[in-house]
Structure formats: C-alpha cells, structure tokens
Structure 1
C-alpha cells in the first residue's frame, strides 16, 4: 500500500464475453503466448466492480474487484474503457493494469481476486468508472491461493527492513496448505491532489514466476531493473511490494 488518504467507489458493468452495453470484443487484443484457448461459458462466471477509492486510509485506489463463480481458478484476458461520472466515454484515456489482467498474466481464484488499474492521457483524473470487456477466459494451469501471499523486504543479511528502505530480497509467505505460483511487483505511487485517486506511476517486476510452498516461504532476490528501481525510490513517500497469483 502507498501511504496517504483516499475518495469514491463506483460499480463497473458485469460482462460475459462482451460488454452489456453491446460493444464486442476489443479489436487486436491477443493473449500472451501460452495462455491457451478460450473456454465458452467461463466469461459469464466473471463479475466486476470498480472501486475508485475505498474511503479508508492506507488502502489501494483504482481497484478492479473480480468475482469468479467457477469452481476452479481462471486466467482472464480483459480490456477496459474509461468512463466519467456521467458514465460517458473518455476516449483519450488509456487503461492498463499493475497485475496484467489485460495481458493474461493474472490468475483469479474461485471467489474473488483483483487487479489495480492505471489511467493515463487527457482526462485521466476524470475517470469515475470503467467498462470491462472479457476477450478470453481459460482455466488456470495451477490453482491460485485462497489467501494473498504476503511480502517482507529483507536486507542482504536476510534481516527484515521497511519496504521504504533499500532492500535486496523479498520474502514471500503462503498461508494456504498447497503450493501457489506468484509474481512480485515493486510499485511506486504518486501523491494525488485532494479529490484525486492515487495512481501507480511505476511498476517493476522483482524476479519471475515463483513457487511458494504449502504453508511456507520463498525468497526472491532483487536484481537488475528491480534493484535500480529500489535504489531510485528508497526513502520515497509511497511504495508497495505486491505479490499476485500468476502463471
């Protein structure tokens, strides 16, 4: 989580294969290599809610909550259209994500999962809601965890330190009694003006796809671009280390 205050929640349109407003699949969208072939009917089991601001301190803004009614974990490929407070389109606003649900990188467990949306371009601060298009849904190769995998920054000697310091490792902890596979993102947040939601302005992967054992831990080293990002932003005002289900 970034450090700060927050403001307003909006409900997104539920979708099943295409937008309820009648829009078809987004042109040119393709899954990342290895996602798989679409399974008819799975899209109807996904439902979405956009939460611009929870109204609570120290919580993440611009959340897309995803409810999965299917009994197994799934991988969606999504695209988004930004809307203003009057539910009018904001055609110049580009919508992307932190966890990669628009690239087939996010695994959603049975129940609920989420992604974090990013808005850029003219009108980005006017976004109040989003339309979601489900382009493809496939069963996940591995089951996602029921609980979020937690992260802890470590120094070179393995001692726990703050995420705001210059850390060199990240310890991942899995509460579930089965193994899970996650990716880790180092997120730098902006400092929004009063009334604006908080944006993720920079997102850098730490390591790659990582297996965390049942009721156990794994350690990921911070190297390359991730080490550079930590060096630039350590002691900064708002950073997060987020682990998310992936494949």
Structure 2
C-alpha cells in the first residue's frame, strides 16, 4: 500500500459562475494511505485550499490501484462529508477520511478526485483543529475508550467556529492493509465553539448506543471537523 500518492484531480461542476470555478481551481488534493507514523489515521484525503476563503466542496472519487488503474467496483465515501457538502475546508490544509467498500477495497493505493461544486462557507473555519476530550457524567476527563457521556470541544483560534463531532470505530486489518472506519456515528449536531474557548456536547441517542457497544474496544476516535 502506497504511503502518499499525488492525485489526479478533475474539476467539474463549476458551472455556477466564475466564482465557483475559481474556488474549484484553488483546491488541490493528496491521498495518504498510510503516513508511516504511529497513531496517525490512515486513508486521509489532504485538501489544500489557496483561495483565502473557507470553502464547502462537493467531491466525488474513483478508486485506483497501485498501477493507477481504476477499481470500478470499489465505492468511495467519506467520514466528514467532503462528498456531500458537510465539510468546510479552511484556507490552508485540512483533511477528510476516506472509506472504501466492495470488491478490491484492499487494493486501493490512490484516488482520482472530481470537484462537483464549490461554495464559500457561510461560517469561516478556523486554522487549527478543534480538539476533543471525553468526559464522564460528572465532567471528569476520561479516555475515549471508556463509556463517556459528554465531549468537550476546545478552539485555539481567535474566532468562533462551528463543528460537527464524529465517533469513529476502526477495523483491525492485517499488516500491510490500511485501517479504515467501519462505523461512524454523529455526536450531537452543529456546535458553536467560542474563540479561545470550549463547548460541551452531550452524548445521547445513537451516539450513546455506539459508545456503549464499543467502549473498552481497541480502536475508536472522537473527531471534530469544521462544518456548517
């Protein structure tokens, strides 16, 4: 499995006007299957945005093997929603996480990206990632592997941001195969986090059920991402 391969990027769906076309041209992508560093998430799509604005892209993907040949039976989807308009990409570099399914899913070494549409985000995204901390019912910090009931979000930036939170369960692949998200559950909804401040999201409903199923398991993450 290749560690970091440059993408071929087709720009499409820019017919909404010159502004949309310019935003599309400002986006570039790199797929990183495995960075080679411990504790680093696999199957990341790096999104570089040079527009100077926060952008909401809608992308589509084609899976490619190590010889850059198409894998037409592999479906590509995302964790944060760059394929459905729920991820806000700030100026600079941000990421989404790709998921592969179907015959040949373990042969994916790269992806081809098509930009279907772009728009300027209604809510600008921060430069730094909003961090997450699992809390128990009393507000005490606990491990994400435990059965937590709240998530504290921390914003380092000097502007308020809006994020969504995903509870991600990972598979345990054999050596040489990239790890991917097998279950993704939203925690709460769109949440405002004040500048240089924190917010707390309650874990209820489907999220609480997912945490109950997978607590004390081997591989879970709590990830916040810019959204609107």
With the shorter chain as reference, the TM-score category is over 0.9
Q: Which of 198, 203, 209 is the matching residue for 1:228?
A: 209
Q: Does 1:196 align with 2:191?
A: no
State the alpha-carbon separation in 2 of the partners of residues 130 and 208 from structure 1: 30
> Residue 8 of structure 1: CA displacement?
2.0
- Aligned-CA RMSD value: 1.4
Q: Which of 214, 234, 238 is the matching residue for 2:195?
A: 214
TM-score, scaled to structure 2:
0.96
Matched length: 225
Gaps of at least 5 residues in structure 1 are 1-5, 19-24, 26-35
Structure-1 residue corresponding to 2:6: 11
1:173-227 Cα deviation digits (max 9, x unpaired) = 0000110000000000000111000010000000000000000000000000000
Aligned counterparts, 1:54-93, within 5 A: 54-93=35-74
Structure-2 residue corresponding to 1:144: 125
State the alpha-carbon separation in 1 of the partners of residues 32 and 7 from structure 2: 8
> Residue 105 of structure 1: CA displacement?
0.3
> Residue 14 of structure 1: CA displacement?
3.5
State the alpha-carbon separation in 1 of the partners of residues 162 and 31 from structure 2: 25
State the alpha-carbon separation in 2 of the partners of residues 8 and 215 from structure 1: 35
Q: Which has the higher strand share?
A: 2
> Residue 115 of structure 1: CA displacement?
0.3
Gaps of at least 5 residues in structure 2 are none
State the alpha-carbon separation in 2 of the partners of residues 67 and 8 from structure 1: 18
> Residue 90 of structure 1: CA displacement?
0.2
> Residue 7 of structure 1: CA displacement?
6.6
Runs of 4+ in 1 over 3 A off after TM superposition: none
